[in-house]
Amino acid sequence: MSTTFQLDSATSRANPTPAPMRRLTVPAIRDRKQDGKTEEPVVMLTAYTARQAQLLDPHCDVLLVGDSLGQVIYGLPSTIPVTLEMMANHAAAVVRGSYHSVVVVDMPFGSYEQSPEQAFDSAARLLKESGAAAVKLEGGEAMAETVSFLVNRGIPVMGHVGLTPQAVNVLGGYRARGRSDAEAEKIVADAVALEQAGAFVVVVEGVVEPIAIEVTETVSCVVIGIGASAKCDGQVLVTDDMLGMFERVPRFVKRYADMAELVSDTAAKYAEEVRARTFPGPEQTYQPKR
C-alpha cells in the first residue's frame, strides 16, 4: 500500500494528492536520542481515522493507532475486546491520511502473547494490510524474546511498560505504578530488557516521575512518556482526551480544548434551525435555472 499520498479535503473527502514531503522513518525516530540525550523531543498522538490523521500529521513525529480505539471509537469498556481486524482497518485509514509521521499500530490483546511465531503472524498482517511502519506491544522482560524475534525478522517494535492497559485485570485497575521499590525495579528492568531486545522506542505509562526519569536516563532508546515526566524523550496522549471529548480522563491528561462542548453547542444550533425551518437556506439549496 502506498504511503505517499494524503487526502485533500478541499476538493473531495477522499481525493489523493502528492505528498509534500518524505515520511519520517523508524531510524530517524531512533536517532533522535544520541549519547543519552534528546535535543528535540518526539511528539506522538493517537489517530484512528484518515481525517484525524490529516489534521494531526503536520504537528507530530509519530501517529499511534492505539487499541484505545476500543473505548474511544467503539465504546467498549476496555481495550481487551479489540481485534486485529479493527486495528488493521484503522491503521490503513491513518496511513492514507498522513504523509509525514511514522505510523505505529498497537497489537491487540491475545494477538502476540502466546508465542513469538504468533506475534510475527499478527504483526505481519497488520503491516501488510495497513502500510504502517511499526507495531507496539505491551510487556517487559516477558516479551523481550518476542520483540527480538520480530526485530530480527524486519518488524520494528515499540515497547510499553509501567501501566499496561491490556493487563488491567492482573493489575487490578489503572492506578500509578512504581510506588514500591520492587515495582519500580521491575519497571526499569522491563525497559532495559526491551531496549536490549531491539525496541526502537519504549512507552512508559502511568509511573511515578522519578522512575520515568530513571528509565529515560538508563536506556539508550527513545522513551515516550504518558503520565510520566517531561524529562522523557517525548510525549504521547490520547488525542480525544487532549481535545476534551470526554468528561472523565486520567489525571495526567491536559485538556487543550473543549471539543465536546463545541460539538454539543453546534449540534444544538443545527437542531434549532432545522426545527425553525431556517436551514437549509438559499445558500444551501439548488434553484431552477431561468
The pLDDT tens digits of the residues spanning 160-199 come to 999 876 655 455 555 666 578 888 899 999 999 999 999 9
CB of 220 within 8 A of CB of 200? no
Distance CA 129, CA 269 (A): 41
pLDDT above 90 (res 251)? no
CB 128 within 8 A of CB 141: no
Output b/e per residue, 22-57; b: 16+ Cβ within 10 A: ebbebeebbebbeeeebeebbbbbbbbbbebbbebb
pLDDT: is 3 or 22 the higher one?
22
Q: What is the mean pLDDT of the chain?
A: 91
- Whether the CB-CB separation of 135 and 179 falls below 8 Å is answered with no
Q: Which of 185, 195, 205, 247 is catalytic?
A: 205
Longest dimension (CA), the chain: 82
pLDDT tops 60 at residue 126: yes
- Tell me, what's the pLDDT at 22? 83
What values do phi and psi take at 43, rounded to 5? -100, 120
Residue 138 known to bind ligand: yes
pTM (global) more than 0.85: yes
- 199-205 mean pLDDT: 97
Measured between alpha carbons, how far is 247 from 170 in angstroms, rounded to an integer? 26
Are 119 and 137 in contact by the 8 Å Cβ rule? The answer is yes
pLDDT of res. 67: 96
Residues 6 or more apart from 287 whose CB is under 8 A from it?
A: none
For residue 136, say whether it is annotated as part of any ligand binding site. Answer: yes
Active site residue 205: yes
Which residue reads 512508559 in cell numbers?
Answer: 204
Strand-pair category, 16-18 with 5-7: antiparallel
Residue 49 has φ and ψ, to the nearest 5°, of -135, 165
Q: Is 68 annotated for ligand binding?
A: yes
CA gap 224, 253 in Å, rounded: 15
The whole-number average pLDDT for the span 35-45 is 97
Q: In the prediction, which pLDDT does 182 show?
A: 86
Element housing 12 (H / E): none
* DSSP classification of residue 159: E
- Asked whether 124 and 80 are in contact (CB, 8 A), the reply is no
According to CATH, the topology of domain 5-259 is: TIM Barrel (3.20.20)
How long, in residues, is the chain? Answer: 290
Binned at pLDDT 50, 70 and 90, residue 3 comes out as very low
Cell of 247: 468528561
Give me Rg for the CA atoms of the chain. 21
**Domain coordinates in residue numbering, the chain:** 5-259
Res 20 pLDDT > 50: yes
